[in-house]
Chains A and B, each alone.
Chain A
Amino acid sequence: MTHSLHRLGNISSLRSEFIVLTFGHSRRSKGVFESKKATFQKKNPGIYKIAKNGYKSLKIDRIIKKIKDVKNRDKNVGPYVIKTKGELYQCLKKIKRAKNGRSVVVSGIIDDIDDCLKKLDLRMHTVQYSLGYFGKTELLPDSNILEMTTMCGHHMISPELVKKLARDIKRGKLTSKEASSSMEKLCVCKIFNKDRATDVFERMKKSTNTESII
């Protein structure tokens, strides 16, 4: 799956989020691991999780509690959105201390993640880069809209909905926060970052270029 890989945004905006996902593994043999993984994936396709309320930006201690919970030993825990580099450092420090052999994947600004790891005497194991968009890119909406729609990794948020909400905000029918909350509900795996979306709506509201939202 590549759903948090291709998030669009400027550096300062992308610096305000790290998405953490952890994978539990059976500790027996490779064969058992593969068969457990297959069974788990059959029951829970991919890393999809249906959470009903709010995007998952839990306090670090709650994330760690879930990771340490024996019931979750073979399960995926996350994804969670962590908002600062400092919090990411704290989170990784506690996961490292837990020593439960989980695979941990963080999406975000790679240099920032690397910094955190070095401070913890860890090194990046494997990296996945996004090489961007290819093909008929003229079919893509403008960058503000794309910044919103790529926050939902499964693309459950339509560009037309973003445009409509931006219009409603300009007309005073909604606040940027209310608009972001209404979009958040559509993101099933809950990595849609409501706070970042509110900022983008504010940016769109101030923009004199109304063409992109009309």
Chain B
Amino acid sequence: MIIDTEKCTGCMKCVPYCGFNAIFREGDKCHIDLDNCVECYVCLKSEICPENAFLEVFLEWPRNLRHTFSSVHAKFTGLGMDGRGTAEMKTNDVTGRFRLGEIGITIDVGRPGVGTKFMDVERIAMALARRGVEFEPQNPTTSLMVDTTTGRFREDVKSERVLSCIIEFKTTEDKLLEIIETLNEVSREIDTVFSVGCISRCRPDGTVPIKEKLDSAGIYYRPNGKVNVGLGRPLAD
């Protein structure tokens, strides 16, 4: 995204719309700090500019990753997949992706609203890979790794900044506490934040196996979360 300085009047109405403080005024015109900008296009889509001065420009690889991971309107065409992650637990009643004894972990790096460079995502992924985690192959973040067994990312993407991206993987319940311990350790080495989600298939009586584990280990979890209510009909095969 750039600002057409011929059109910009420097009114600064757009400045608060940017979540990354990337819009600044120099002289009597506004400009975009391209290093901070995550190409989310909120400035453009908000239609706040009375002069229509925001200009969408063609983004080359790897800068186009910023837009793909940060904009609601983007399609993940470059890597052959859409969205920022999979359907996770939302269709688990039909797909049976997570079974009893298994857990899913989602690590939304850069969320909420801080943003992240892929070099920090790599730090988290490498720490998890050392624990033997197998990253979800149908996830755009995984597709940026050169080696999914080490969690190492492509060199050319590491400096790209995005609003957030999701590291996803499935593991077994008995590894939950060591995964959380790893996340606590690596959280001290990064320059951003991440939000963690933990998925658990419920027992037939509706109780949640990992709730007991989290409670007994004194690990915090929010009272609000997501529930698949189990009305989907499992696929015949």
Contact = CB atoms under 8 A, between A and B. Distances in A.
A65 interface: no
A170 interface: no
B112 A133 contact: yes
A163 B180 CA distance: 34
Nearest to A155: B113
B202 A132 contact: no
Contacts of B236: 29
B206 A107 contact: no
A189 interface: yes
A149 B193 contact: no
B227 interface: yes
B200 interface: yes
A164 B16 contact: yes
A186 interface: yes
A127 B143 CA distance: 26
Contacts of A102: 231-232
A4 B230 contact: no
Nearest to B199: A128
B219 interface: yes
Contact of B225 (A92, A104, A107): A107
B166 A103 contact: no
Nearest to B99: A126
Contacts of A137: 193
B221 A160 contact: no
Contacts of A60: none
B51 to A, nearest CB: 19
A113 interface: yes
Question: How big is the B interface, by class?
Answer: 35 or more
Interface residues of A, number: 78
Interface stretch (A116-124, A172-180, A193-201, A202-210): A116-124
A150 to B, nearest CB: 5
A160 B201 contact: no
A97 B208 CA distance: 25
Interface in A123-171: 123-137, 139-141, 146, 149-150, 154-161, 163-164
For A11, A33, A136, which residue has the most chain B Cβ atoms within 10 angstroms?
A136
A86 interface: no
A105 interface: yes
Interface in B62-85: 72-76, 82-85
B227 A41 contact: no
Interface in A25-77: 25, 27, 29-30, 33, 37, 41-42, 45-46, 48, 50
Given A125-B92, A126-B202, A161-B16, A27 B228 contact: no
Contacts of A1: 83-85, 87-88, 90, 166
Interface of A: 1-2, 4-9, 11, 14, 21, 23, 25, 27, 29-30, 33, 37, 41-42, 45-46, 48, 50, 92, 95-96, 101-111, 113-114, 117-118, 122-137, 139-141, 146, 149-150, 154-161, 163-164, 185-186, 188-189
6 contacts: A118-B206, A127-B200, A131-B196, A133-B112, A133-B195, A135-B190
Leading 10 A-B pairs by shortest Cβ distance: A125-B230, A123-B206, A46-B83, A101-B233, A103-B232, A158-B19, A45-B82, A135-B193, A160-B16, A131-B196
